[in-house]
A and B are shown apart, each in its own frame.
Chain A
Amino acid sequence: MTPVHDLPPVIAAHDLTKTYTFHQQRAGLGGALKSLVKRKYETRLAVDRVTFSIGRGEVVGLLGPNGAGKTTTLKMLSGLLYTTSGDLQVLDHTPSDRKHDYLRRIALVMGQKTMLWWDVPAMESLLLHKDMYGLSTAEFDRNVAELAELLEVEHLLNVQVRKTSLGERMKLELMAALVHGPEILFLDEPTIGLDVVAKARVRSFLADVNKLRGTTILITSHDMDDIEALCSRVMIIDHGRLQFDGGLDDLVRTAQPRKLVRATYASPVEADQLNGLDGVSAVEVSGPTVKLEADRERAGFVMEQLTRLGPLVDLDVADADIEDIMRDLFLRRSTLGDAP
């Protein structure tokens, strides 16, 4: 598969593999007692020979159903997990070495884990990061002011974290993650549980961070709106394998090669008027409205034909909703292309 970027890579993974070993235990007292004496261990392949590279300044969405291997990949990239095999270089470091120079250039935000101290104001956690990352007072003050303004959280910095809402807390988490100006930001479900307003604010903030600071962002999310709003490129992982790596438009074209067409006429249309129209499917006629799917290559011809059926009131041509595409993909567990 051809990479969609031509920037120097800051992340390079080759045949990245991770396996977990765990023991199985049957439910109930019998199972518990049996496991005391004899345990059956199994190995699970969480990430299977994944190869990709990401250029500086890219915003990439890492997608896949639950248990596909997204978070495991993110954890290997951020240095939390050792790889079982394969090569992994991030900012010219092996992440699992967790060298100071590496850790000060990255940040990981996990939607369901906090970096902030719960019982004290967020400013205490920010000051801790000032010491951890060795920021000068001037640099720290400048970053805090800039991030607080972008996130609109100036009034929350001196409030106990436990007294803030979920949305406010996520903004503060992002602030803590970015106060040292990381070159790469790993985000694991950053908008999980947030309301629509908070989600929009977080998305717009991340877009600003990427634009203003050139921060490379790798994001996992089940919210396709996050992906559409932020990512020019997506990677789909399923059963630990990289199934797709390319632009969002390519994904839509590959997964859903048909356009959705909806035509509304001034008067009702008969179904047999559409007979003989090539390259269309899923035709639905309801009074003056015709809905159908047209081959992408023949969409122009189909629309021309539709204009001849009668006086048009409205004509709408769209790609399938990305959410629907992903749902279909995950349900089908289909292979979209050759993994690199």
Chain B
Amino acid sequence: MNALVRNLRVVRRMTAADIAQQSVYRGAWIIFMLANICMPIISLLIWRTALASGAQLPVDERYITTYFVLLGVVTMATSSWMAGFLAQDIRLGKLSSWMIRPASLLAGFVANNLSEKFLKLFALVPMIGIVWWIFRDSMNIPAGPGRWALFAISILLGAMLVFTIDILIASLAFWMDDVSALVQARVIIASVLSGSVVPLALMPEWSRGFVDHQPFRYTVSFPVEIVAGQLTGPELLAGLGFQLGYVVVFAAITRLVWSAGIRAYSAVGA
């Protein structure tokens, strides 16, 4: 059987099992979903109030509204929570039970992310739908399907980028005793530089060059900008090129670090 087909079957089976397992912990599931939706809605209300109070921003109310309504979906779709789990599996030797089986070691983590998204979609989509309906008259909604298709592609690339960065950070656990500080630092840096807390369009002018080209922009902000913003055709293409480039570069670095890490793996514990 072809290795790709076999691994896809494994991912499908693991995703189904993960959904079954995560369904056991309903309370945690609800809290995670509320966390995903609450922050963008609170931010939306704050920025709309600021605009209504006469704040001078480089973007208008329609941009801000569209941005924060879509933010919950994009953050959920591109997020990954596996760095801490993978690092722990490496440190405690739990990776061993997967290494002795003939499937990609990442299948479990891909499945875990997919199952998380599948479960969150159930509640997130209706909630976003309600917010969308409330603010529908003050949002930028692209007319044709082209932008939505690019939005979907960009979300997929963003998810791959976050996933790859997560594996890279977790892989350092092959050499370091504890990478939780790095994981935490990544979360804090990414929340600012990805545009999850403040839209990158509101960043100071002097930081534009850096902010527009750093990788975290392409994990959240760029997909949202495709719908909410006024990106021109060349800007869109350049952005997608950057996004794809970051995915390829991080994937190559991660593959190198992972391969070296597996050689250094000490499989602690009996």
Contacts and interface: CB of A to CB of B under 8 A. Distances in A.
Nearest to B101: A132
B10 A131 contact: yes
Contacts of A118: 21
B18 to A, nearest CB: 9
Contacts of A134: 1, 6
B228 interface: no
What size tier do the contact residues of chain A reach?
35 or more
Nearest to A220: B270
Contact of A111 (B12, B24, B263, B270): B270
A124 B102 contact: no
A127 B13 CA distance: 8
A80 B99 contact: yes
B102 A132 contact: yes
A82 interface: yes
Contact of A106 (B13, B93, B100): B100
Secondary structure dominating the interface of B: helix
Contacts of A128: 10, 13-14, 17
Nearest to B17: A124
Given A110-B96, A119-B24, A134-B6, A188 B102 contact: no
Interface string B90-113: 000110110111110000000000
Interface in B97-133: 97, 99-103
Contacts of A112: 269-270
Contacts of A75: 96, 267
A100 interface: yes
Given A20-B266, A80-B265, A131 B13 contact: yes
Interface in A83-130: 98, 100, 103-104, 106-108, 110-115, 117-120, 124-125, 127-129
B185 interface: no
Contact of B17 (A79, A108, A113, A117): A117
Contacts of A113: 93-94, 96-97, 269-270
Nearest to A130: B13
B34 interface: no
Given A111-B270, A113-B96, A131-B12, 6 more contacts: A100-B3, A108-B100, A118-B21, A127-B13, A132-B6, A189-B270
13 contacts: A79-B100, A80-B267, A81-B266, A103-B100, A103-B102, A110-B96, A113-B96, A117-B17, A119-B20, A124-B20, A128-B14, A132-B6, A189-B270
